[in-house]
Amino acid sequence: MKLHEYEAKKIFAKYGIPIPKGEVATTSTQAREITAKLNVPVIVKAQILVAGRGKAGGILFADTPEEAELAARKLLDAEIKGVRVSSVLVEEKVSVQKELYLGITVDRAQRCYVAVASSRGGMEIEEIAAKTPEEIVKLFIDPAYGFHLYLARQVARKMGYVGKQMLNLASIFFKLYRLAIDFDAELAEMNPLMEKPNQEFVAADTRLIVDDNALYRHVELKNRLAEGETELTPQELKAQESGLAYVKLEGNIGIIGNGAGLVMATLDTIQLYGGNPANFLDVGGGASAERMAAALNIVLSDSEVKAVLINVLGGITRCDDIAKGVLEVRKRVGFAKPIVIRLVGTNEEEGRRILTEAGIHVLSSMEQSAEKVVEIVNVEGGG
């Protein structure tokens, strides 16, 4: 789960990390009032859950309350990178001597957190690593030992800091690590962390991404999903509510399977035959008729989907339950889109009988099923 910048900054501030003074506005009038209260030049930032908003025109500067009002009016209700802006963060413009990068993220290859820092911030860390890799400081964090202040000091020294500034920077980095641990973060970063002319630091921009699998430990964030404050698509939200594993992709063939490995193999087979999967959807082992009905409803609700492939290898999952779920969806809403079904395994004969008697053809080969659904989509699309 991605948090808005203003949400992340509230959390960062609770951990003692310095942030600029500012408030959120949902109207241009509020933006003017906030700027008048701050009584300094400000930055007006669109609050959207996508990266690269600055380059897309989502960050504007204002020297007066009137300019802030105009900036907010320009941003609010505008679309930036396909996302509508409903709020802006109005905060003081910080005088800067140098921009730094500090981040804590997960290194899946090493199976641990990694601390990443650079004396060059203000741009994507991948861009810094590509252009000047020598300016990146990385420290893999032993999960059994953790990230301690002395390790943070080592990083700060490698960034070229000494004395009081080094201690101050190390303290901020250590607090960032504690925040990442407490919030089960996949990413917690400050980019840029500003070094001010008075040699103090302030987090000018922050990002916090929380592991979805840990949301049960963060009720205040989980409730946010129900309020619509999320970057998830409607299908991903519905799948989360139904306890289904779903990921939106960019194709036009809906995929439903039981078991992550089988679904991944189905995606590969679809592509082998020239098709483009629209999603990953795993109903899991032991999927009931209700779960299959929920899965079909989710996939069919995607306007990009032109046809659906259901691929079931019955082990714990019973093929007759899958068949009943398919018929339940047809009974409720009908099939506005073609559906290809492959059933093999437990109660296979009964599942096939149920579907065949209902006039729905069932295949036994995954390759034949993939070829068939790609053929259907190509014919409908004129390909």
Pairing assessment for the beta strands 362-363 and 339-345 based on DSSP bridges: parallel
8 Å CB contact between 168 and 9: no
Choosing from 101, 113, 161, 177, which is the catalytic residue? 101
State yes or no: is 67 an active-site residue.
no
Other residues' Cβ atoms within 10 Å of the Cβ of residue 79: 10
Other residues' Cβ atoms within 10 Å of the Cβ of residue 360: 17
Q: Which helix (H) or strand (E) holds 172?
A: helix 163-182
8 Å CB contact between 15 and 180: no
Choosing from 189, 195, 236, 348, which is the catalytic residue? 189
DSSP letters, 187-253, are: EEEEEEEEEPTTS-EEESSEEEEE-GGGGGG-HHHHHHHHTT-SSS-HHHHHHHHHT-EEEE-SSSE
8 Å CB contact between 97 and 126: no
Pairing assessment for the beta strands 112-118 and 79-80 based on DSSP bridges: unpaired
Tokens standing for residue 36: 């008048």
Q: What are the angstrom distances between the C-alpha of 302 and each of 127, 308, 336?
A: 35, 11, 12
State yes or no: is 216 an active-site residue.
no
Active site residues: 101, 189
